[in-house]
Chains A and B, each alone.
Chain A
Amino acid sequence: MDLTTFLIQCLNALQYGLLLFLVASGLTLIFGIMGVINLAHGSFYMIGAYMAFALAPFVAATVGGGFFTTLLLGLILAVALGYLLEWAFYSFLYTREHLQQVLMTYGLILVFEELRSLLVGDDVHGVQAPDFLSGSIPLGDMMVYPVYRLFISGVCLLLALGMYFVFAKTRLGMMIRAGSTNREMVQSLGVDIKFLYRVVFAAGVAIAVLAGMVAAPVSSVYPGMGGLVLIICFVVVVIGGIGSIRGALLASLLIGVVDTFGKVLVPQVAGVLVYVLMAVILLWKPDGLFKAG
């Protein structure tokens, strides 16, 4: 591997790592901070991707299109969905056993998959990247790099910074962190913890939906796509340390590097490398890289 190829591979690794963080960050909130084992996270991601596919023509017909208008509309719907789901289902789960959380969120996967099948069908669909992001940058003498992929990385960095800022620097973040450590104590201090959690959950769903919408032009939308990202999202959160946004970002980048170079250098075992990485890190640090609280 010469230097140019190596550098391009590093870019690939970085870009994949950031994409992973984007997809997993919603889970960091819901599983990492709120402590609910949310298997339906992949479904939220899938819903986002299908929103990008289904909303774009609708937005084009009503307000004449616009990539960011579609994103905004999707986010509003996602917050509403998240708020509703928390009220109807998840709010009953906080004090229950993990097994019951698994059972219910697994049930939601089945419901969402079936709804998707009924509403949109089982075909694979492509989503167009917006025109102003559809260009590409030359890279070496053979390849070009699509601008849209860089845009995804940008979105991801912004999201990481934003999440870090909210949790580490604001009063709201402080209350959420306190709530994850001791729910009753925070409540007795006069914080409406129920409402707070409903908001955090809605935010988690919105971030997963955003990830799906932003990734759709690159990943396409197809049945079962949520299941594919679910496992790797849990790996990210567990390696990073439950509840740590910093950890999730670092874990995503690590997985990006291991996966990209693994596929190129040792393709025979590429499938298990990520899990070997997880095992090694958990042996070394049983709570993940950064344990919050």
Chain B
Amino acid sequence: MYRQFKPIIRWVGSALAVTAITSSVALAQNTGKLKVGFMLPYTGTFAALGIAIENGFRQHVTELGGKVAGREVEYFKVDDESEPSKATDNVNKLIKRDQVDVIIGTVHSGVAMAMAKAAKESGTLLIVPNAGADAVTGAMCAPNIFRSSFSNWQPGYAMGEVMAKKGIKKVVTITWKYAAGDESVKAFKESFEKGGGTVVKELSLPFPNVEFQGLLTEIAATKPDAVFTFFAGGGAVKFVKDYAAAGLKANIPLYGSGFLTEGILDAQGASADGLFTALHYADSLNTKRDNAFRLTYAKTYRMQPDVYAVQGYDAAQMLSIGLSATKGDATKATDISAALRKATIDSPRGPFTISAAHNPVQNFYLRQTSDKEKENKVVGMASAKLADPGRGCKM
């Protein structure tokens, strides 16, 4: 009932948008502008992430003087609503209607999978600036599909190494039962058990259910040495608070993928203090590169950048490197791929390279949350130059 009317409203919306855009499209085809299509969440739970990604992307394009590989940039936008069922329609608006040269998107893994499928069929260049679904640079990989963020496998695998090295033996995992959670926990288990630990129980609940109390009781009854978790956004806030409120934080240390505490420390407050997480970015890297990036971002957008802004920024860097190799021709996927696989991307997160399956090979930092400074502070390296295995990729 709830969903029935969305299509109608969207239809009216796009009808208006089409009339507004058709005139500008006709112009753009002749002037040689580079058409960049953002397909990002601009409404809903992930709206803040979509905006950060777009901000980061635009920041780098501005640094390049508004031109990528000599072509002026023209932006097109589609709100994907983080809604997989509309993803194919939405991405086709950019591919068929707007005929963009490159698509940047998105946050939600399910939507990103549909986008990868469409991009694979049409050959349009796609850079995924967040969604971690392993398959994007695994079974779905293609010469024209790239990722500037991470695969779900990476932070999970990095944390498994860290916890095994700490001598932790018995671990319970808990996550939402969906792709990101499952893939993260699977990768964690892979490295943790390789390092000599055992996952004694895998708990999960349906996405986006946030009633954790029953499962917290299970954890207390199992008495593991530690807990590994994957949650993000509002659910992560509630999980971390419930975990502390149930008295478990003092007895059973909580470890997580970095998204557990990313961008939501204010809301989590003292309950997140001291948690260890692994991610490819942190607030206090304190490198010259990152400081310069953060200062410009804060000045331009009047807010602090986060990992999503960095991923958007690097998507623009990757696009620029790729297109410079083909003199601005976005259709030569093989040449773009070759150029990017040779390149080192000078990211605010630290330099990274691109794997054969087009996923970043990057450092994963071990971070500890500080409630006093409201920061995820780097306390060490969880896993250096960690490369996703790219399972199932045949290119």
Residues of A with C-beta under 8 A to B246: 143-146
Contact in complex: A267, B2 (CB < 8 Å) = no
Smallest CB separation, B107 vs chain A (Å): 12
> Is the Cβ of A260 less than 8 Å from the Cβ of B213?
yes
Interface size on A, residues (CB 8 A): 54
- Whether a CB of chain B sits under 8 angstroms from the CB of A8 is yes
Which of B50-80 touch A at CB < 8 Å?
A: 51
Residues of B within 8 A of A13 (CB): 214
Q: Return chain B residues, CB-CB under 8 Å to A1.
A: 221
Assess whether A130 is interfacial by the CB under 8 Å rule. Answer: no
The answer on a CB contact under 8 Å between A142 and B223 is yes
Chain A residue with the shortest CB-CB distance to B234:
A222
Interface residue? A33 (CB, 8 A): no
Contact between B47 and A122, CB atoms less than 8 A apart: yes
Whether B1 contacts A219 by the Cβ 8 Å rule is no
A126 to B266, CA, bound (A): 7
Judging by beta carbons under 8 Å apart, are B237 and A220 in contact? yes
User: Which of B208, B215, B251 is within 8 Å of A142, CB to CB?
Assistant: B251
Q: Are B220 and A142 in contact (CB under 8 A)?
A: yes
* Chain B CB within 8 A of A16 CB: yes
Given A142-B220, A270-B205: A136 touches B247 (CB 8 Å cut-off): yes
Most chain A CB within 10 A, of B5, B48, B223, B245, is at: B245
CB-contacts of A1-29 with B (<8 A): 1-2, 5, 8-9, 12-13, 15-16
A230 pairs with B2, CB closer than 8 A: yes
Question: Given known contacts A16-B211, A143-B247, A219-B238, is B45 in contact with A126 (CB within 8 Å)?
Answer: no
A8 CB contacts on chain B under 8 angstroms: 217, 220
Contact A110 B267 (CB under 8 A): no
Residue in A8, A121, A122, A149 whose Cβ sees the most chain B Cβ within 10 Å: A122
Identity of the chain B residue whose Cβ is nearest the Cβ of A138 in the assembled complex: B247
Quick one: given A126-B268, A219-B238, are A12 and B213 in contact (CB under 8 Å)? Answer: yes
Q: Which residue of B lies closest to A234 (CB)?
A: B1
A61 → B minimal CB distance (Å): 19
A-chain residues with CB within 8 Å of residue B223 when the two chains form the complex: 142
A264 touches B215 (CB 8 A): yes
Whether a CB of chain B sits under 8 angstroms from the CB of A164 is no
Contact A122 B248 (CB under 8 A): no
- Chain A 218-243 interface residues, beta-carbon cutoff 8 Å to B: 218-220, 222-225, 227-228, 230-231
Q: Looking at the complex, which one of B2, B45, B217 makes contact with A224 (CB distance below 8 Å)?
A: B45
Q: Which residues of A contact B267 (CB under 8 A)?
A: 123-126, 220, 222
B251 nearest CB neighbor, chain A only: A142
CB distance from B345 to the nearest CB of A (A): 28
B374 to chain A, nearest CB (A): 12
Q: Known: A106-B5, A117-B43, A225-B234. Is A146-B245 also a contact (CB below 8 A)? A: yes
Is the beta-carbon distance between A144 and B177 smaller than 8 angstroms?
A: no
Known: A145-B246, A271-B177. A126 touches B43 (CB 8 A): no
Given the complex of chains A and B, what is the CA–CA distance between A8 and B248 in angstroms?
A: 15
> Out of A125, A138, A219, which one reaches B210, CB within 8 Å?
A219
Task: Establish whether residues A9 and B217, one from each chain, have CB atoms under 8 Å apart when the complex forms.
Answer: yes
With A and B bound together, what is the CA distance between A143 and B233 in angstroms? 25
A219 vs B238: C-alpha distance in the bound complex, in angstroms? Answer: 6
The 0/1 profile, CB within 8 Å of A marked 1, for residues 209-235 of chain B is: 111011111101101000000000110
Q: Does B381 contact A (CB under 8 A)?
A: no
Cβ distance A257 to chain B, nearest Cβ, rounded Å = 10
A76 at the binding interface (Cβ < 8 Å): no
Measured between beta carbons, the chain A residues less than 8 angstroms from B263 are 123-124
Does any Cβ of B come within 8 Å of A263's Cβ? yes
- Smallest CB–CB gap between B133 and chain A, Å? 20
The smallest beta-carbon distance between A153 and chain B, in angstroms, is: 12
Residues on B with beta carbons closer than 8 Å to the beta carbon of A102 = 1, 4-5
CB-CB under 8 A from A259, the residues of chain B are: 211, 214
**Least CB distance, B201 to chain A, in whole angstroms:** 10
CA distance A142 to B267 in the complex (A): 25
- Indicate if the CB atoms of B221 and A5 lie closer than 8 Å: yes
Judge if A56 is at the interface, Cβ distance under 8 Å: no
Pairwise interchain contact B2-A222, C-beta atoms closer than 8 A:
no
A185 to chain B, nearest CB (A): 30
Q: Are B214 and A142 in contact (CB under 8 A)?
A: no
> Which residues of chain A are near B208, meaning CB under 8 Å?
228
Please give the distance in Å from A3's CB to the nearest CB on chain B: 11
Decide: B213 and A267 in contact? CB cutoff 8 A: no
Q: A110-B9, A264-B214 are in contact. Are A223 and B204 (CB under 8 A)?
A: no
Within 8 A of B (CB), among A89-129: 102-103, 106, 110, 113, 117, 121-126, 128
Q: How far is the CB of B329 from chain A (nearest CB, A)?
A: 37
Chain A residues within 8 Å of B177, by CB: 267, 270-271
Please tell me if A67 contacts chain B, counting CB pairs below 8 Å: no
A16 to chain B, nearest CB (A): 5
Q: Is the CB of A260 within 8 A of B233?
A: no
B169 CB-CB contact with A under 8 Å:
no
Residue in chain B with minimal CB distance to A137: B247
Evaluate contact between A142 and B47: CB separation under 8 angstroms.
Answer: no
Please give me the 5 A-B residue pairs with the lowest Cβ-Cβ distance, nearest first: A271-B206, A144-B247, A222-B234, A126-B267, A142-B220
Spell out A's residues near B (CB within 8 Å): 1-2, 5, 8-9, 12-13, 15-16, 37, 39, 102-103, 106, 110, 113, 117, 121-126, 128, 136, 138-140, 142-146, 148-149, 218-220, 222-225, 227-228, 230-231, 259-261, 263-264, 267, 270-271
- In the complex, 9 of the A-B residue pairs with CB atoms within 8 angstroms, ordered by the A residue number, are A39-B2, A102-B5, A124-B263, A223-B234, A227-B2, A260-B213, A263-B205, A263-B215, A271-B177
B residues at A contact (CB < 8 Å): 1-2, 4-5, 9, 43-45, 47-48, 51, 177, 203-206, 208-211, 213-218, 220-221, 223, 233-234, 237-238, 241-242, 245-248, 251-252, 263-264, 266-269
